[in-house]
Amino acid sequence: MKAKNNITRRGFLKNIGVATSVLAFPSIIPASVLGKNGAVAPSERIQVAYISCGGISVTGDRPFTENPHCQVVAACDPIRDRRVAKQTLINKMIGKEKSIENYKGVREYNDFRDVLASPDVDAVYVSTGDYWHVPISIAAAKAGKDMHTEKPLGLCIGQCLAMGRAVEKYNRVFQYGTEARSFIHTRMAIELVLNGHIGEVKEVYVWAPPGQSGGSATPVLPVPEGFDYDLWLGPAPEAPFCKDRWSQSGIYYIYDYAIGYIAGWGAHPIDMVQWWADKTGQGIPLEYEGTGTLPDSGLFNTIVHWDMTCRYRSGVTLHFMDQVSAKAKISKDEKLTWDDKWEHGVIFVGTKGEVYLKRMAFKTNPMTLMKVAKNPGDIRLPASSDHNANWIHCIKTREQPVSDIYSAVKSDILCHLCDISVRTGRKIRWDPVKETIVNDPKAVKMMSRPMRAPYDKLMLL
């Protein structure tokens, strides 16, 4: 199946006002792509391109190369060494999988706009820095591509809302990179809660690893050869090149590129809670208040520690903290237990018990609830055993993936509202109907971020 795409390369590039390089098509077409020997026919294979080839993209390598329903055709990154390494790796993996010597079917690109203008790309796997997630994903939607976009979603609330509108307007299949929804124990644990085995939920505790302080803008370094630094910065403000700016730590802890681990890691456990909240009609909390600490020196300037109390319309209280704050709070509660091995997690506290959940495990109180986890009751969640395969399947069927855009927008806004509360030092109230912060003009301004031209045009729907 091909994604509908009537846009021309020339027209697309003209619309965003930036010239790009010439496309390079493969010179060899593997026999398996032609549908021989029982392989999936070309018309039924989803052709996928990587946009960004850093460490996070590794999670897609084997699931894509071994999935007969998709074909990796491109690797894109403004850092030449990274994209060439990915191209070489995927060519080798596909060649080995299909017993094709010297397979050369994966192209390499510097600029994602060339990828989106390519008519043979059906879908893109977006694993850039946080600040690029939404602009690239919206551009992909406009170009007729489906997308798997890594968490967290947007650099601000306005971007989250725009992403939701883009997916709906262009009828795209969007999978959020919160892969814990495809872990069986995540689904089993939440189904225990949904089916009433811990009684009525009264409180939820959520925590993630803390952020970091430090980093230095000096020494200013020359941009390495093969590094398109201006494109790497993209919509972010111009800034001198230095080691700590483009390193993995930099893109997580510099406010121009992210809001820190409150969303960068917090997105994982918060998404687990959102899965429950969506099923019960909770939405997201309407009130946010608490404390947090920001670095007072260095290049890194996102929240390091936070301790937030958030309240749903139903009266349920959500405690969202970093690991250090969570240990201090949960250890004092005689009814709850703290495990130092759980650097992140969720505790659903009900009138009859608790469910503890993290990415790779869950446990219950009382322990007897574990016995009913495989058959918890009539309320069930969508089942997925492979996050990337679920995305490919939904592209073909046009179904909603297990981590859909609607849930992604809500859970990411929750993280942003906590960040805004810490930065303003005030209680923040959210109006879910008008989709805005209530009676706080300064906080409302923080719902959006300026973007550097010409990349700001990517956000136009």
Is residue 282 scored above 80 in pLDDT?
A: yes
Cβ-based burial of 220 (10 A; exposed 0-12, middle 13-18, buried ≥19) = exposed
Name the CA radius of gyration of the chain, rounded: 22
The set of residues, in sequence order, having a beta carbon less than 8 Å from that of 137 and lying 6+ positions away, is 126, 147, 149, 163, 166, 174
* Residue among 265, 284, 262, 270 nearest 423 (CA): 262
pLDDT: which is higher, 19 or 315: 315
pLDDT in tens, 336-363: 999 999 999 999 999 999 999 998 899 9
Asked if 240 and 222 touch (Cβ cutoff 8 Å), the reply is no
> DSSP letter string over 97-154?
HHT-TT----EEES-HHHHHT-TT--EEEE-S-HHHHHHHHHHHHHTT-EEEEPSS--
Is residue 98 very low, low, confident or very high in pLDDT (cuts 50, 70, 90)? Answer: confident
Q: CA 179 to CA 271: how far, in whole Å? A: 10
Q: CA 85 to CA 89: how far, in whole Å? A: 6
Asked if 271 and 411 touch (Cβ cutoff 8 Å), the reply is yes
* Residue among 255, 264, 270 nearest 320 (CA): 270
| Res 163: pLDDT | 98
pTM above 0.85, yes or no: yes
pLDDT in tens, 286-310: 999 999 999 999 999 999 999 999 9
Is residue 455 scored above 60 in pLDDT?
A: yes
183-213+257-381+405-445 has the same fold as 9-180:
no
Q: Strand 123-126 to strand 46-51: parallel, antiparallel, or no bridges (unpaired)?
A: parallel
Is residue 124 scored above 70 in pLDDT?
A: yes
> DSSP letter string over 215-253?
----S--PPPTTB-HHHHHTTSPP----HHHHSHHHHHH
Which three-class secondary structure state does DSSP give residue 34?
Answer: helix
Count the helices and strands in the chain (H runs, E runs).
Answer: 16, 15
Backbone angles phi, psi at 172, to 5 degrees: -100, 155
Is residue 36 scored above 80 in pLDDT?
A: no
Asked if omega into 78 is within 30° of 0 (cis), the reply is no
Which three-class secondary structure state does DSSP give residue 133?
Answer: helix
* Residue among 120, 97, 98 nearest 107 (CA): 120
Is residue 328 very low, low, confident or very high in pLDDT (cuts 50, 70, 90)? Answer: very high
For 123-152, what is the mean pLDDT? 98
Neighbours of 329 (CB within 10 A): 16
Is residue 44 very low, low, confident or very high in pLDDT (cuts 50, 70, 90)? Answer: confident
Domain boundaries, the chain: 9-180, 183-213+257-381+405-445
| Res 29: pLDDT | 40
Q: Fold for domain 183-213+257-381+405-445? A: Dihydrodipicolinate Reductase; domain 2 (3.30.360)
Is residue 31 scored above 90 in pLDDT?
A: no
Which three-class secondary structure state does DSSP give residue 203?
Answer: strand
For 247-259, what is the mean pLDDT? 91
Q: What percent of the chain has pLDDT over 90?
A: 86
Backbone angles phi, psi at 82, to 5 degrees: -70, -45
CATH class of 9-180: alpha beta
Task: Give the chain's mean pLDDT.
Answer: 91
| Res 30: pLDDT | 39
Is residue 156 scored above 90 in pLDDT?
A: yes
